[in-house]
Amino acid sequence: MSTNNLEQLAAAQKANAEVMMALVRTAFNGMEQLAALNLAASRELFNTSVANTQQLLSIKDPQELAKASSALTQPSVEKVMEYSRSVYDLAARIQKEITSVMEAQYSGFTKNASSAIEKASASTPVGGDVFAAAMKQVLQASTKAYDNMTAMAKQMTDIADANVKAASSATTKAAAAATKKK
């Protein structure tokens, strides 16, 4: 192997290691944020449960108990919806970060592959241009497939986002209506 090939191999390995480290770092940050979110939600649930229990235990009239029970339900539903939105937002942020890293990696790969194809076609004997043309077509096809996949992932994310917002709105309205009925 020539020194140039070894340098290219070392550079490629370094780039791959950096990408893996970025992905692992993103995953650890996401897990840390999820753990913090879960801890805060658990603390809030405990504090709310204690306060609600104390409030319910202080009630003497059965009619007042029914009113208080329904009044305590609404904030709990809203907190669950807020927690769900927070988890969804966290997952969406992590997905965007990972997608960004992967897009940068793919962009670098296509640039290097195009450069290598150009160099190879310039230095190959007669007939090498056919191979280079075929490689260019393969690269173009993979780029188009990657772009389609990225567009579909974005569409699915947008649909999921719209569904989460619609479900949150519907649940909040239903809980509010149920509370008003009681």
- pLDDT tens per residue across span 129-177: 776 777 778 777 877 877 777 777 777 777 777 777 777 777 667 666 6
* Percentages of the chain per state (helix, strand, coil), in multiples of 5: 95, 0, 5
Q: What are phi and psi of 124, to 5 degrees?
A: -90, 155
pTM over 0.75: no
- Rounded to whole angstroms, the Cα distance separating 68 from 52 reads 9
pLDDT for the residue numbered 142: 77
The token pair that represents 36 in the structure block: 């913090």
Are 83 and 41 a contacting pair, CB within 8 Å?
yes
Range of the domain at 45: 3-181
Nearest Cα to 51, choosing from 79, 87, 86, 81? 79
pLDDT for the residue numbered 47: 92
Number of domains the chain is built from:
1
Which contacts of 16-23 are long-range, i.e. CB under 8 A and separated by 24 or more positions?
Answer: 19/101, 19/105, 22/101, 23/98, 23/101
Instruction: Kindly give the parts of the chain with pLDDT less than 70.
Output: 1-2, 4-5, 9, 120-121, 124-128, 131, 171-172, 174-182
Residue whose token pair is 């229990």 = 53
For 54, the enclosing helix (H) or strand (E) is helix 3-57
pLDDT for the residue numbered 97: 87
